[in-house]
Amino acid sequence: MNLSGLNRMQKKAVETTEGPLLIIAGAGSGKTKVLTSRIAYLIDDCKVAPYNILAITFTNKAAKEMKERVDLAVGENAGKVWVSTFHSTCVRILRRYIDRIGYDNNFTIYDTEDQKSVIKEICKRFNIDTKMLKERSIMSAISKAKDELQAPADYELSVGGDYNGRRIAQVYREYQKQLRLNNALDFDDIIFKTVELFEKDDEVLNYYQEKFQYIMVDEYQDTNTSQFKLISLLADKYRNLCVVGDDDQSIYKFRGANITNILSFETTFDGAKVIKLEQNYRSTQTILNVANAVIKNNRGRKDKALWTENGEGDLVNFAQYDSGFTEAEGVVSMIAEKVRDGWDYNDIAILYRTNAQSRALEEKLLMRNIPYRIYGGVSFYQRKEIKDLLAYLKTIDNANDGQAVKRIINIPKRGIGDTTINNIQEYADNNEITFWDALTEIDSIDSIKRGAGKVKPFVDLIEKFRERLDDISLHELIEEILEETRYIDSLLEKEEREEVDARKDNINELISKIVSYEQTCKEEEVEPTLSGFLEEVALIADIDNLDESEKQVMLMTLHSAKGLEFPIVFMTGMEDGLFPSYMTITSDDPTEIEEERRLCYVGITRAKKELYLSAAKMRMIRGETQSCKVSRFIKEIPEEYLNIENNCTGYSNNKNISYGGDEDYSSGNKTNFRAVGKSILSAYGSGKTKEYESKRVPIGKSYSSSYGGNAYKSSYSSSA
């Protein structure tokens, strides 16, 4: 194995194969590279058998990349190295040995929906009022308990006399019993049960301790308690455990990641060696200066500063645009320029805090025929909630699109099953009428009996919306659809809060899209119509436009960007309230803002050559234009590292950066932010400012967390 490409410290890290080793280093210093080289070194130079090596990565993508790199380095034997995520590692172990703790080896894995129905049934049996104690709170409490390795009895102890806590404990106990009866595991059980297996069965533990004599974990800063325990058990015999991480990149605290795992590694694993890597190979010095300047505002971190020999590089750009819309336009035209200069599309990534922000960017990219891909997520118009709402609009507009009608006939649930739908379709086919027309003649369909009573209210509802269209605007229509169908509530019955929050962000973004459409119509003095809107959307929602070639601009949330790198990075939406998120700004807990700052550091350090930061002065959220302050993270960057664009429209120089809005975030009063009341709407391009009365959204029932964050989750779960 030729280690000549590595620096002295990296080499030392590769060659320190025995005993516990912590490699703690800033972004881009070659941690992942060291892990990969280490695997190759162990096989090539130390003659370690590939099947004695376990490497754990954070995502499947990372596992795949690491496998490819190991393949390159050691060839055919690489296949025998276990390179996988915590979950796939554990599933593999459980498939073989879970019978030792009373499950069958062909266990099923329950998804959230399955979990939910078990919990629901238990609550019913225990007479738990799920309006007071929501199923999803119970589920999230159980999930948390499992991350912390608390079995029902431990959980019960931990809640003490707390009434709700005791009830949850009761449900938790019964829930585990039910899962066991059904030979099922939920997602969190996968690690939890593997730990249990190892703790209860010495033989199995011994087998895996012998098997995995060399263990490596990437992104160690984001491990939680159960993952930590798993690793400690496995490594207990040979103690050849090498973990790599960066405390400044810990961004999953809200999912139970425990930063003390990395900070206390040296005390937990006796005799541990620590290697720090300081040289960064990824970015220019200017990009690193920016990253250092931001992260140094966090307290309670190990002080370190990134440096590189890559040279100063260009200044980091900051541009403040008039609106989110012009921001997207600006970013996309800059990308076109970069490609004209010789860059490839796949050299470029656009990062954002919440998934909903992809909408405007996607539209502009499509308009310019720039190929793009959403990494770890689905493009805006393919997201479930957007497809559902568009299906409503299509059905209301003209119900010719039978697929649209069928999509929503039972969303939210109205008790209309597949058999009924098939019977209706059959009737429609036989009589050569549309599916919708068949619905309106439901009484004539002989095969439908009880179903008819359920179909009629649906038809009435759609017809009612059609009549309403004469009196209300399109964005009011969508609000009414949401309200009448209780769509959000129906999501909450099935999904976790974070997931629903991300979907609400998307719905709010759709509302903003409708309002922009209405505004454009007004400017062009044409009547906004539902058909007109749907036509406009059809032009951009057509996913087939996408070029399947490899060379695509990558769009992703900051969370999904962890571990990746791109020559050119755009970080958009750098506004207080968006990034850092509104919730963290108003939180009483100062560490929340620190987690956002680490996320910012992760974003900045993805860039190799060029970094473009941007913000909007006004952003439309749920159809309301709100003024935005420049992100505090931008203000933490010394001006000397920034190129503040001021010569083109839409930009402003530093003196003019609008710190706009007089909302007082520190008051913690959420209503302040929502009910901006009179927002200032700066007319795009004209430089004129006019005041208008914005529609107030009642807070109680509304979507006050439109900036709610936690969009990470939907990045892989809001599939269509």
**Binding residues for ligand ATP (CB under 6 A):** 5-7, 10, 25, 27-33, 246, 249, 281-282, 563, 565, 605
What is the C-alpha to C-alpha distance for residues 502 and 510, in angstroms, rounded to an integer? 13
Query: Helix, strand, or coil here: 680?
Result: strand
Q: What is the closest distance, in whole angstroms, from the C-beta atom of residue 25 to ligand ATP in the complex?
A: 6
Closest approach of Cβ 275 to ligand ATP, in Å? Answer: 12
Select the residue whose beta carbon is closest to Mg ion and give its number. 32
The CB-of-350 to Mg ion minimum distance in angstroms stands at 21
- Tell whether residue 158 is among the known ligand binding residues: no
Q: Which does 406 bind (CB under 5 to 8 A by kind): ligand ATP, Mg ion, none?
A: none
- Select from 344-352, 475-483, 557-565, 592-600 the region that touches Mg ion (CB under 5 A): 557-565
User: What does 512 interact with, of Mg ion, ligand ATP, none (CB < 5 to 8 A by kind)?
Assistant: none
* 423-431 contacts, C-beta under 8 A, 24 or more apart: 423/447, 423/448, 423/451, 424/448, 424/455, 428/402
Nearer to Mg ion, 61 or 180 (CB): 61
Contact letters for Mg ion, residues 616-645 (x by CB under 5 A): ------------------------------
Q: Which does 30 bind (CB under 5 to 8 A by kind): Mg ion, ligand ATP, none?
A: ligand ATP
Cβ neighbors of 544 (< 8 A, separation 6 or more) are none
25 assigned binding-site residue: yes
Counting Cβ atoms within 10 Å, is residue 468 exposed (0-12), middle (13-18) or buried (19+)? middle
| CA distances in angstroms from 705 to 303, 579, 697, 711, listed in the order given | 34, 13, 12, 11
Task: Tell whether 32 is in a known binding site.
Answer: yes
Q: Pick from 152, 563, 577, 708: which binds Mg ion (CB under 5 A)?
A: 563
Residue 34 or 43: the one with the smaller Cβ distance to Mg ion is 34
Task: Return the SS3 of 527.
Answer: coil
Question: How much helix, strand and coil, in percent to the nearest 5, is found in the chain?
Answer: 55, 15, 30
Q: Does 560 bind Mg ion (CB under 5 A)?
A: no
Buried b (16+ CB within 10 A) or exposed e, 474-508: bbbbbbebbeebebbeebbbbbbbbbbbbbbbbbb
CA–CA dist 144, 255 (Å, integer): 8
Q: Which does 27 bind (CB under 5 to 8 A by kind): ligand ATP, Mg ion, none?
A: ligand ATP
Nearer to ligand ATP, 81 or 328 (CB): 81
In the DSSP assignment, the letter for residue 252 is: -
Kindly state the smallest distance separating residue 31's Cβ from ligand ATP, in Å.
Answer: 3
How far apart CA 538 and CA 531 sit, in angstroms, is: 10
User: Beta-carbon neighbour count of residue 154 at 10 Å?
Assistant: 12
Query: Residues with catalytic annotation?
Result: 31-32, 218-219, 249, 606
* 10, interface contact from Mg ion, ligand ATP, none, CB < 5-8 Å by kind: ligand ATP
- 8-state DSSP, 300: S
Contact assessment for residue 241 and residue 235, using Cβ atoms and an 8 Å cutoff: yes
667 annotated as a binding-site residue = no
Residue 7 binds which entry of Mg ion, ligand ATP, none, CB below 5-8 Å type-dependent: ligand ATP
Q: Looking at beta carbons, which residue is closest to ligand ATP?
A: 30
Q: Which stretch binds Mg ion (CB under 5 A): 26-34, 64-72, 415-423, 469-477?
A: 26-34
In the list 10, 29, 32, 506, the residue contacting Mg ion (rule: CB under 5 A) is 32
| 258 vs 228: CA distance, rounded Å | 9
Please check whether residue 352 is in contact with residue 693, taking contact to mean a CB–CB distance below 8 angstroms: no
Q: With CB cut-offs between 5 and 8 Å by kind, which of Mg ion, ligand ATP, none does residue 28 bind?
A: ligand ATP
> Which of 673, 595, 567 minimizes the C-alpha distance to 629?
673
- Give the nearer residue to Mg ion in terms of CB position, either 32 or 627: 32
Interacting positions 99-138 with Mg ion (CB under 5 A):
none
CB of 664 to ligand ATP, least distance (A): 36
CB of 57 to Mg ion, least distance (A): 9
Q: Among residues 32 and 285, whose Cβ is nearest to Mg ion?
A: 32
CB 320 within 8 A of CB 658: yes
614 binds, among Mg ion, ligand ATP, none (CB under 5 to 8 A by kind): none
Structure-token match 């431990």, residue found: 154
Count, residues near Mg ion per rule CB under 5 A: 3
What does 246 interact with, of Mg ion, ligand ATP, none (CB < 5 to 8 A by kind)? ligand ATP
Confirm whether residue 31 is marked as ligand binding: yes
* Cα–Cα nearest to 553, from 325, 334, 287: 334
Q: Label residue 687 exposed, middle or buried (CB < 10 Å: 0-12, 13-18, 19+).
A: exposed
Closer residue to ligand ATP in complex, CB, 29/286: 29
Work out how close the CB of 583 gets to Mg ion at its nearest, in angstroms, rounded to a whole number. Answer: 28
Of 250 and 572, nearer to ligand ATP (C-beta) is 250
With CA atoms as reference, report the closest residue to 290 among 634, 653, 657: 634
Amino acid identity of 184? A
Question: Is residue 30 annotated as involved in ligand binding?
Answer: yes
Nearer to ligand ATP, 241 or 244 (CB): 244
* Region from 309-317, 556-564, 596-604, 690-698 binding Mg ion, contact rule CB under 5 A: 556-564
What Å distances lie between residue 230 and 18, 72, 265, CA to CA? 19, 29, 15
Q: Is the dihedral of CA 253, 255, 256, 259 positive or negative?
A: negative
Decide: 609 and 316 in contact? Cβ < 8 Å.
Answer: no
Binder of residue 304, out of Mg ion, ligand ATP, none (CB less than 5 to 8 A by kind): none
Establish whether 428 is an annotated binding residue: no
Q: How does DSSP assign 608-644, residue by residue? A: EEEEEEEEEEEEEETTEEEE-EEPHHHHTS-GGGEEE
Give whichever of 145 and 277 is closer to ligand ATP, judged by the CB atom: 277
Q: Any binding-site annotation on 59?
A: no
Q: What's the closest the beta carbon of residue 630 comes to ligand ATP, in angstroms?
A: 26
Q: How far is the CB of 346 from Mg ion (least distance, A)?
A: 19
CB atoms within 10 A of CB 719: 10
CB of 242 to ligand ATP, least distance (A): 13
Strand, coil or helix: what is 336? helix
Residue 34 or 510: which CB sits closer to Mg ion? Answer: 34
Binding residues are: 25-32
Binding residues for ATP are: 25-32
The binding site for Mg ion (CB under 5 A) comprises: 31-32, 563
